[in-house]
Amino acid sequence: MSDGTVNEAISLIQKLYTSRINQADVIATQKQLQAIQRGPNGWDLVLVLLQHSDPNCRFFGALTVSVRINIEWLDQNRILDIASLIAASIKRPDVPVVTIKLADAFSTLIAKYPDVIPNPLFCLLWSIGDEKSHFSTEDCEIANENAQNPSAISAMLTGLAPESLHLFFFICKVFAEDLDNNAPSAEFTEMLNNSCTVMEQLLATPVTSPMDWIGLLQAWAILIRTHLTDSSILRLREFIPTALNYLKDDKAFKTVASSLSDLIDQVPTLFNNDLIASTISTCLPLVDAILKEAEYESDVLTAWIELLLSATSYSMETTLMMPFFQDVLEALFKVTATSPIENEYKVLSQTVEFWNNFCDTTDELLQEGSPHAPFCKSIIQRSIATLTPRAIIPSIDAFNSWNSDEKDQFNGFRRELCDYLEFTLTPLGDETLSYFTQMAANSLADQTPTRLEAYICFINGISYSLPAKSAEVAQLLSVFWNDSFISKMDASRAVPFIANTFVRLISNYEQYIALSADYEFIQKLMSVLFSFLTEKLLALPASKAIQSLCLAYRNRLHKMLPSLMSVISNDIFSTLDALVRERIVSGLTTIVNAEPNIPTRVAGFLQILNLIQLHTQNLSRINWNDAENALIMLDAFCSAVNDDSDEANETENGINVDDDQAFHGKVYSYEDKIAIKAKILAITRDIVFDRCGPCNDPTVVEHATSIIKAGLYDTSVEDSLLSITPLEAISFIEVGTSTNFSETGYLYIRLAIAVLGNLKTTGEPENSPIIQQLFSTVTERTASTDASNPDNIFTIIDFFRAIILNYPNVFFESIYVGDIANFIIFYIGYPELFVKKSALMFWQALLTNKDSVKEGLFAPFIESIGYSLCLSVVKLILGQALRSELVRVSELYKRLIFKFPIQMKQWLPQAVDELQPRNISQQAIDQFITKSLVLRGGAKTTEIVKDIWLQARGQTSDYI
């Protein structure tokens, strides 16, 4: 390798690792280095880089070794040379990243060629302890002969200098970790078996670093668990007492405990009950000493609890029988109750995980009749009593002083605790409810708001697992349904996180309020919630609670409508977020819908619509976001009015409802209907056309047309208040399609298709002026259709197909029939697949729906456009169609020949001649025409179409 190439590589490496360069330069530099790395002189570069003074160059040299091993297939001599090179390089003192990368390269080499160096760790140990590398063929044979010679290996280990022993520990750990995911083979298994003796002797060697030792034990045990027999794992069991001895070292405790925890979880056969007992008992003195200190690392306690969690999971029943397990629990309770670390919730979160696991693993022990049940239940009860006080915020000032990480830790602990409390409902049942009933009562009487907030938070947490309308739950919640609760809730607005907890209680348990609260309480509760809407941080959760209460208690809350409407002035309403406004509109509409007095109900509807209308009119010019939000509110109103579900109407939350008065006989006057419909259409038109100007936003128009579609007259709902006539919908379409058809036309045409379906359902005759008006409105837009918007084309063609299927004579009697036909023929060859599919489906519908066609009109129509249609279809058959379209094209082609056999004798040869296909022989063309005409659209026509399409595509077998 030339000096210039070497210097270039070194310069690029130093640029990549030491210079501040932008991302584009990083990518370019990496590509240049990869080219050199993988080039013919890559190994020469390795030799230079591994001896360079710059550690970045040595790192890249070690990386290149791995790359070259992966991309090349090496012979035996080359493998041994590379192993020697790695061994020589790895012995030299270096920065950790270089040593790790060299160890990775060694692992890669052995994993790829395990049969060439069958005892690699022996050879590497020999090389580290000697001046030269020992990876020759003869050295490998000696290593293989000594594979099961522990005394020889022990002697070599004893002779290593401390720094060399530390290095060998480090390399062996990397080696074990790298090989864990290797695919098994006979040669690989033999290599691992040969390496076992080296590893076992290494683990038996006294070391100064317990962290090195436990890391190696963990990595090796996990590796052989996957690839070797249990006997190999059991031989490692003798080292567990050494690991437990290292647990007594307070500096090593965290690392050793974490590794032991992983070993219990991942290699459980390494342990037995005695070792588990020893593991648990060994930790106790250290934990006791830790708890006596004024300050300590929380990670140490976290590691202990993690180890305790793994050890008890091994066999909970056996653990419970251990004579010292009560001491363990006492230590755990002490950690939970008296942890001296301020704002330290990681330890508490780990404790909750232990108790979750305790409940899970003692499931059988908690069953009726189990001798362990009383003890286990008492332990769970005590855990609840110990954990819940820790989830109380010390004070509002303290909470406000916490940084975001501290708040996240606290909230995470709370969430995990609530999950645990929910879990305890299974083993404890009513006992948990009784406990919270007492705590809720105490906290409500307490003057400390954070205590009350905490217990409400816990009650919220268990809400999803409580039995519906349970008397016990009602008793628990009845604590809150009083003036004291209302007073504290009202006062909580100054502290949003507390107020939020109050509001969630209402949302979670609205179904229970009526079981234990009177109308006066609900009225007060709604007043407080409505007052929360003016608070920025409370408006969203408050609106959700309001919506829930309105739905649940609509038969009682309609009496409050005047006072509630007076609270929501337009000035306040305009300041609310979009979702809040939507929920309020939905909730108020639900209340109004339950009003038994029809005139009062209609007045309420108009009042809500006026609120929406005033809100939009207060804006000097509605932007599209405002428009969308207003339409969402209107949609929420329409949905609430249309919700005539009788569920919960007969008996709602224990309250008898007079069905005849409240929910049946909704007889609205014609004037009422007109007033409501006029308001809805006025708001919608105002938002979409006038206030926004010509609306180009499809999202806004989609909401508007959705409201109109939802309100179309439905014969199944005789007295539907929101029924919108087809004529009103057509008027809306006319205005909409005349403003900005290019961007939003397809949405109005979709509405036109819905109107057409509505007219067909209601039995509108073909000669109806409404049908003619709708058809003319869409037809007039066809000429101005923007070809750049395929959605417009697609929906227009779909509309005409709907006309063909439902009112065919309207189509054929139109003076525009020829223009429409040519318009759709043109789009048979359109590049957008869904447009092309729609055009093909139109023609198939037209040619199939023969019974609905007046032959007198149909014949001249097809004579005028027949050849153009034939030409477009044949063009697809002769190569332009995609494979996925071929079946549909074949069906249309068959229908065309079947319907017009005489005309096709002229049209088909003329079309083929005009197209002049290049890839098909004249003989094949003639056969295609002849067979098509002879079969007259029979089933075998599909095969003929496929064969000619394949030839046009330059293929000779079934299409790909």
Give 500-530 pLDDT, tens digit per residue. 888 888 888 777 776 667 778 888 888 899 8
Q: Residue 915: which residues within 8 A CB-CB, separation 6 or more?
A: 871, 874, 875, 878
Please give the pLDDT value at position 648. Answer: 36
Q: What is residue 599's predicted lDDT score, i.e. its pLDDT?
A: 85
Q: Is the pLDDT of residue 852 over 50?
A: no
**Does 611 or 59 have the greater pLDDT score?**
59
What pLDDT sits at residue 873?
A: 92
Direct distance between the N- and C-terminal alpha carbons of the chain, in angstroms, rounded to an integer: 49
Residues 409/457, Cβ–Cβ less than 8 Å: no
For residue 127, the model assigns a pLDDT of 92
- The predicted structure's pLDDT at residue 855: 57
**Cβ atoms of residues 76 and 116 within 8 Å:** yes
d(CA 818, CA 861): 7
Q: Point out the least confidently predicted range of 263-272, 282-291, 584-593.
A: 282-291
Average predicted confidence (pLDDT) for the chain? 83
Q: What pLDDT is stored for residue 514 in this prediction? A: 62
Give the pair of three-digit tokens for residue 264. 């219990």
Instruction: Check whether 652 has a pLDDT greater than 60.
Output: no
Contact between residue 119 and residue 191 where contact means Cβ atoms under 8 Å apart: yes
For residue 113, CA distances in Å to 74, 145, 199 come to 9, 19, 20
The domain ranges of the chain are 1-72, 73-202, 430-556, 559-644+670-724, 862-959
pLDDT in tens, 134-170: 899 999 999 888 888 899 999 999 988 888 988 999 9
pLDDT, tens only, 886-914: 888 999 899 889 888 888 999 999 999 88
Give the rounded percent of residues in the chain with a pLDDT score beyond 70.
91
Q: Report the pLDDT averaged over residues 306-329.
A: 86
Span 778-791, mean pLDDT? 74
Is the predicted pLDDT of residue 729 greater than 60, yes or no? Answer: yes
Instruction: Find the angle CA(108)-CA(114)-CA(115) to the nearest 5 degrees.
Output: 150
Phi, psi of 651 (to 5 degrees): -140, 115
Bigger pLDDT: 853 vs 803: 803
The mean per-residue pLDDT over the stretch 46-53 comes to 90
Average pLDDT over residues 276-299: 80
Residue 625 pLDDT exceeds 50: yes
Q: How does residue 238 score in pLDDT terms, banded at 50, 70 and 90? A: very high
Report pLDDT for 784: 66
Q: Compute the 3-state secondary structure of the chain and give helix, strand, coil in percent, each to the nearest 5.
A: 75, 0, 25
Quick check: 111 pLDDT over 80? Answer: yes
Three-state secondary-structure class, residue 113 = coil
pLDDT of residue 477: 80
Report CA torsion sign: 471, 473, 479, 482.
negative
Is residue 662 predicted with pLDDT exceeding 50? no
pLDDT band for position 422 (cuts 50, 70, 90): confident
Please name the residue that has the structure tokens 């008397």: 471
Over residues 663-691, the mean pLDDT reads 75
pLDDT of residue 19: 65
Q: Are 579 and 543 in contact (CB under 8 A)?
A: yes
Q: Identify the pLDDT of residue 739.
A: 73
- The structure tokens listed for 60 are 């890249």
H helix runs in 206-345, sequence order: 210-227, 230-236, 240-247, 253-266, 273-292, 298-314, 316-320, 325-338
Which amino acid, 681?
A: L
Distance (Å, rounded) from C-alpha 458 to C-alpha 959? 65
The one-letter code for the residue type at 532 is F
Residue 679 has pLDDT above 60, yes or no: yes
3-state secondary structure 719-740: CCCCCECHHHHHHHHHHHHHHC
Query: Which pLDDT score, from 0 to 100, does residue 299 have?
Result: 82
pLDDT for the residue numbered 227: 81
Please say if the pLDDT value at position 654 is more than 50: no
Per-residue model confidence (pLDDT) at position 264: 92
Q: Is the pLDDT of residue 661 over 50?
A: no
Bridge partners (DSSP) listed for residue 651: 656
- The two tokens of residue 613 are 């209308």
pLDDT at 240 over 90: yes
So what's the pLDDT on residue 344? 67
Between residues 657 and 435, which one has the greater pLDDT?
435
pLDDT band at 960 (very low <50, low <70, confident <90, very high): very low
Q: Give the whole-angstrom CA distance, residue 507 versus residue 357.
A: 30
What confidence score (pLDDT) does residue 243 get? 92
Q: Measured between alpha carbons, how far is residue 670 from residues 603, 609, 676 in Å?
A: 14, 18, 10
Predicted pLDDT at 256: 93
Q: Are 684 and 731 in contact (CB under 8 A)?
A: no
Count H helices and E strands in the chain, helices first.
52, 2
Of the pLDDT bands very low, low, confident and very high (cuts 50, 70, 90), residue 467 is: low
Q: What is the pLDDT of residue 656?
A: 33
Phi, psi of 712 (to 5 degrees): -60, 145
Report the alpha-carbon distance of residue 71 to residue 50 in Å, rounded: 20
Q: pLDDT band for position 554 (50/70/90)? A: confident
- Given a cut of 90, whether residue 564 has pLDDT beyond it is no
SS3 state at 651: strand
Q: What is the mean pLDDT of residues 29-55?
A: 88
pLDDT value of residue 910: 92
CB 414 within 8 A of CB 457: yes
Give yes or no for residue 568 having a pLDDT over 80: no
Q: Exposure string (b/e) for 580-607, b if CB count within 10 Å is 16 or more? A: bbbbbbbbbbbbbbbbeeeeebbebbbe
Q: With a threshold of 0.85, does the pTM exceed it?
A: no
Contact residues for 720 (Cβ-Cβ < 8 A; gap 6+): 642, 713, 714
Tell me the mean pLDDT in the region 586-606: 86
